[in-house]
Amino acid sequence: MNLPRMLIIFTLLFVPLFTAQADVAPINDAAALRGVKEGKGVFLIDFNDPKKVAFYLEIIKGSHAGLTRQRVKPDFVIVYIGPTVRFLTTAPDGELELEQGDTLKVIAALVKELHQLGVRQEICAIATLAFKVPNETVLPELSLVGDGFISLIGWQSQGYKLVPLF
């Protein structure tokens, strides 16, 4: 097959694909955000796996950036309860540190980044007591609250929408 014929075949087969891609609308959340000026979300994090905690903190950070990019002011609160509190301390127990030390560092860094973005982060005192995490060792970017469930109810009563995490 000669070169000019190959170019014609290429043009006929592939140029329409490139043109079709150019006509595709950008991926965004415009329909859901129509008229929305502020995105108030409260996230309840209750996981027993530190990798899952790190994963969702990264997703929350991305959602914050996505709202900002789409000209909606993010206003987020994260409430940490249950076994998750074990991953939010400057002094994790020895076995956890040995097995998950790198992931714990990632979590601490994400907590700090989210704090710098203005995300309020609360840690439940009932959970810190139940999971033997001394309150004086919780990451400094976290606000200690008496009861994470009460806090969650309060934020929802103030108009924050619960973002379910599984």
State how far the Cα of 117 lies from the Cα of 115, in Å rounded to an integer.
5
Q: How remote is the C-alpha of 66 from its chain's centroid? A: 11
User: Confidence class of residue 26 from pLDDT cuts 50, 70 and 90?
Assistant: confident
pLDDT of 42 > 70? The answer is yes
Given this model, what pLDDT does residue 24 score? Answer: 79
| Structural domain boundaries in the chain | 37-163
| CATH placement of domain 37-163 | 3.40.1260.10
pTM for the whole thing?
A: 0.85
- DSSP β-bridge partners for residue 138: 89
Return the sign of the alpha-carbon dihedral for residues 141, 147, 149, 150.
Answer: negative
Residues 62-103 have pLDDT tens digits of 999 999 999 999 999 999 999 999 999 999 999 999 999 999
Q: Which two tokens stand for residue 121?
A: 């982060």
Q: Mean pLDDT for the chain? A: 91
State how far the Cα of 59 lies from the Cα of 40, in Å rounded to an integer.
16
Given this model, what pLDDT does residue 98 score? Answer: 95
